[in-house]
């Protein structure tokens, strides 16, 4: 391991000059509950157009990595500000401390991850976690710490002042996670999101490659003593024990062999209640559930655990018996709403299906109500579909959920005809149409709806802001004896064996001959949801197609990629998350675009904001998204008003 102590002796022991208390962004989601809200008020709707670039920082990956390595990565990090420093991780898990006012590197830690692992979820690191030991002397080594997870499944504890490993944690600062079964290749199992800390426990999930096999790595959530790294508890979303209260939602064989249902997205913490909230994913494999009859509870669920013990306090399933890869992809948002003039603490969970489920935080009961409604049946032979699925009474869906052949879209007439013809050949009965041998339209596709960018929330205006995609995908099951082997993921889609299931599968975004989505625009939107009454306040296209169309066109049809928004006290929503390489500010109440700036590549990340020496900064990682970006970058860019 290499540690570059750039200015560490000077700055590590005497601190960085300046102060940043009320303006801290100390957690990945701004706060432990993931509201992505800042009380800062220096930047307003009236002056936001004056924002200018204040500083930039480059991780060095563009110069040091090969083109193939960069194309297998995504700079999705949201830095945090704590104890007078910015802390972040690169796509390749290097942890870096920066000066908040200049972007100057203070220290850097390189865990030296191998770049030949073929991670199913790219080389990426969405964030790090900061913790202060309340029992340590402030000047003691590792009195404050930075924790991170890596692509090779290590959990690392670093001294926040110097970047040196905290040797009392695990083995010389490292806990190596070993999956319960052998991996088929090194990148089948990884960590992409920051851990959380609650009740003295460091709690961490995992990301697992989709669709290779039914008997896949388990989606176990693990907790360790935050000081020592000693094992504390685990929670497996697939109940292996027949005595589990949800065991009857699985077959006996399904409980034994099924993997996944992992927590790859960020978790949230309510420290006062001693709860950690998990957004669980789909069980293996994604598109055929014949090996796991039943609703498969704890999968595709918001699960509230006792942070001290790992025991389930409550759970709410958003998709029964998932065969669409409709994971819960985003951090649960712990927010407070009003009912009859009284505050009610809730959990708001956005989903790939385009639904937002709002649940009371103490019980998991729906705040606005949820109905079980009949959904399409007649899946592939051997499938065991749920006859109903949960539909929120409010808010309404924030993305379209059905497409007909007549709605097939193209830039030119022949383009449109091609999409209409393809849609007419596939089964398309709306949300929850099951995968079939003849081909099925998934709309929304497996990327959402919402994805890991999640939602941000303005508590004064009671507005949630959600970045959403609206793209159709074709998924097709393949008879086992007709599958000729291989597991391929590329720009055209994915083809995978689903070993142990009756069928292999192929899936891909439906594109016209000219390379644009067959679903009608906008393909990327920003939506404001009024949670005072559960209604859609506004929806606007997010981005132009000038960089993704065959000819540069400035049409506001939405420029899809990943990322999310933040809100500020003055009624601003900041977001990048477009393939037109822009960073934008919107009016939270109306959705009006107020400002935009050019980025070196797409900002496939969630921004953050902080105050330093009396100046408010808004920061975005603009590194691109390896699978879709034309140009890759490795920059973190801070904007501020002129001094």
Per-residue pLDDT at 24: 84
- Which of 68, 103, 73 is CA-nearest to residue 88? 103
Are the beta carbons of 85 and 100 closer than 8 angstroms? Answer: yes
Under 8 Å CB-to-CB from 63, ≥6 apart: which residues?
none
**Distance from C-alpha of 401 to C-alpha of 162, rounded to nearest angstrom:** 50
Q: 309-359: per-residue pLDDT in tens?
A: 999 999 999 999 999 999 999 999 999 999 999 999 999 999 999 999 999
Under 8 Å CB-to-CB from 575, ≥6 apart: which residues?
465, 467, 526, 542, 563, 564, 565, 566, 583, 584, 586, 607
Per-residue pLDDT at 6: 32
For the question of residue 270 being annotated catalytic, the response is no
Per-residue pLDDT at 177: 97
For residue 15, name the pLDDT band (cuts at 50, 70, 90). very low
Per-residue pLDDT at 545: 83
Q: 191-204: per-residue pLDDT in tens?
A: 999 999 999 999 99
Are the beta carbons of 476 and 440 closer than 8 angstroms? Answer: yes
Q: Which of 83, 159, 286, 325 is catalytic?
A: 325
**Residue count of the chain:** 643
Are the beta carbons of 207 and 327 closer than 8 angstroms? Answer: no
Could you tell me what percent of the chain has a pLDDT over 90? Answer: 89
Under 8 Å CB-to-CB from 291, ≥6 apart: which residues?
214, 253, 254, 257, 258, 500, 501
| CATH number of 173's domain | 2.140.10.10
Per-residue pLDDT at 546: 78
The tally of domains found in the chain comes to: 1
**Distance from C-alpha of 51 to C-alpha of 609, rounded to nearest angstrom:** 13
Are the beta carbons of 276 and 203 closer than 8 angstroms? Answer: yes
**Burial of 490 (C-beta count, 10 Å sphere; 0-12/13-18/19+):** exposed
Under 8 Å CB-to-CB from 110, ≥6 apart: which residues?
1, 2, 3, 4, 94
Please state the rounded mean pLDDT for residues 429-458. 97
Q: 589-600: per-residue pLDDT in tens?
A: 999 999 999 999
Please state the rounded mean pLDDT for residues 528-546. 95
For residue 625, name the pLDDT band (cuts at 50, 70, 90). confident
The tokens for 438 are 């003849």
Helix, strand, or coil here: 146?
strand
Segments forming the whole domain that contains residue 421: 2-640
Where is average pLDDT lowest: 2-16, 494-508, 529-543? 2-16
Q: 267-283: per-residue pLDDT in tens?
A: 999 999 999 999 999 99
Per-residue pLDDT at 563: 96
Residue 487 pLDDT more than 90?
Answer: no
For residue 628, name the pLDDT band (cuts at 50, 70, 90). low
Residue 524 pLDDT more than 80?
Answer: yes
Q: What is the pTM of this model?
A: 0.95
Q: How many CB atoms lie within 10 A of CB 483?
A: 18
Q: 205-215: per-residue pLDDT in tens?
A: 999 999 999 99
Per-residue pLDDT at 3: 39
Q: 380-414: per-residue pLDDT in tens?
A: 999 999 999 999 999 999 999 999 999 999 989 99
Helix, strand, or coil here: 63?
helix
Are the beta carbons of 251 and 270 closer than 8 angstroms? Answer: no
Rg (CA), the chain: 23
Per-residue pLDDT at 630: 64
Could you tell me what percent of the chain has a pLDDT over 70? Answer: 94
**Distance from C-alpha of 332 to C-alpha of 427, rounded to nearest angstrom:** 33
**Distance from C-alpha of 69 to C-alpha of 116, rounded to nearest angstrom:** 9
Q: 551-587: per-residue pLDDT in tens?
A: 666 788 998 889 999 999 999 999 999 999 999 999 9
**Burial of 262 (C-beta count, 10 Å sphere; 0-12/13-18/19+):** buried
């Amino acid at each position: 391991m290499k540690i570059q102590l750039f200015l560490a002796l000077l700055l590590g022991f005497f601190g960085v000059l300046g102060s940043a208390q009320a303006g801290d962004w100390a957690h990945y989601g701004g706060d432990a509950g993931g509201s992505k809200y800042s009380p800062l008020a220096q930047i307003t709707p009236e002056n936001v157009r004056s924002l200018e670039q204040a500083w930039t920082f480059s991780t060095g990956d563009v110069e040091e990595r090969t083109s193939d390595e960069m194309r297998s990565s995504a700079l999705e990090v949201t830095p945090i500000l704590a104890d007078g420093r910015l802390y972040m991780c690169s796509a390749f898990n290097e942890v870096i401390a920066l000066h908040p006012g200049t972007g100057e590197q203070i220290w850097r830690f390189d865990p030296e991850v191998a770049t030949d692992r073929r991670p199913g979820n790219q080389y990426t690191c969405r964030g790090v976690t900061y913790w202060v030991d309340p029992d340590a002397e402030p000047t003691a080594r590792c009195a404050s710490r930075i924790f991170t997870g890596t692509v090779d499944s290590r959990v690392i504890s670093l001294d926040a002042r110097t970047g040196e490993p905290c040797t009392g944690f695990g083995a010389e600062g490292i806990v190596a996670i070993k999956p319960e079964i052998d991996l088929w290749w090194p990148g089948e199992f990884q960590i992409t999101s920051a851990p959380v800390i609650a009740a003295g426990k460091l709690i961490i999930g995992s990301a697992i490659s989709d669709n290779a096999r039914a008997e896949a790595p388990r989606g176990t959530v693990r907790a360790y003593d935050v000081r020592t790294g000693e094992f504390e508890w685990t929670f497996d979303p697939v109940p292996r024990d027949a005595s589990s209260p949800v065991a009857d939602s699985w077959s006996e064989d399904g409980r034994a062999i099924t993997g996944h249902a992992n927590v790859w997205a960020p978790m949230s913490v309510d420290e006062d209640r001693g709860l950690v909230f998990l957004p669980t994913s789909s069980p293996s494999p994604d598109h055929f559930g014949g090996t796991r009859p039943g609703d498969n509870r704890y999968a595709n669920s918001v699960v509230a655990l006792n942070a001290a013990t790992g025991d389930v306090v409550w759970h709410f399933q958003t998709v029964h018996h998932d065969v669409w890869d409709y994971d819960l992809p985003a951090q649960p948002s712990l927010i407070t709403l009003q009912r009859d003039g009284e505050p009610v603490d809730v959990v708001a969970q956005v989903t790939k299906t385009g639904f937002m489920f709002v649940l009371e935080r103490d019980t998991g009961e729906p705040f606005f109500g949820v109905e079980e409604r009949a959904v399409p049946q007649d899946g592939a032979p051997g499938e065991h579909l749920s006859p109903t699925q949960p539909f929120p009474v409010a808010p309404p869906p924030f993305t379209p959920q059905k497409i007909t052949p007549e709605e097939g879209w193209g830039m030119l007439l022949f383009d449109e005809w091609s999409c209409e013809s393809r849609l007419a050949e596939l089964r398309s009965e709306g949300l929850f149409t099951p995968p079939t041998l003849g081909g099925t339209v998934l709309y929304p596709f497996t990327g959402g709806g919402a994805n890991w960018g999640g939602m941000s929330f303005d508590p004064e205006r009671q507005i949630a802001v959600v970045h959403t995609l609206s793209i159709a995908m074709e998924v097709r099951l393949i008879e086992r004896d007709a599958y000729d082997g291989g597991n391929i993921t590329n720009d055209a889609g994915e083809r995978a064996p689903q070993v142990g299931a009756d069928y292999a599968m192929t899936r891909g975004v439906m594109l016209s001959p000219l390379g644009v989505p067959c679903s009608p625009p906008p393909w990327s939107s920003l939506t404001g949801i009024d949670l005072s009454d559960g209604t859609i306040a506004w929806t606007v296209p997010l981005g132009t197609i000038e960089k993704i169309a065959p000819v540069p066109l400035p049409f506001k049809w939405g420029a899809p990629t990943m990322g999310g928004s933040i809100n500020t006290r003055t009624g601003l929503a900041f977001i990048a998350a477009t393939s037109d390489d822009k960073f934008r500010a919107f009016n939270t109440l109306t959705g009006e675009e107020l400002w935009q700036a050019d980025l070196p590549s797409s900002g496939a990340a969630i921004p953050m904001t902080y105050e330093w020496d009396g100046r408010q900064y808004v920061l975005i990682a603009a590194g691109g998204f390896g699978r879709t970006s034309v140009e890759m970058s490795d920059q973190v860019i801070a904007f501020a008003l002129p001094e």
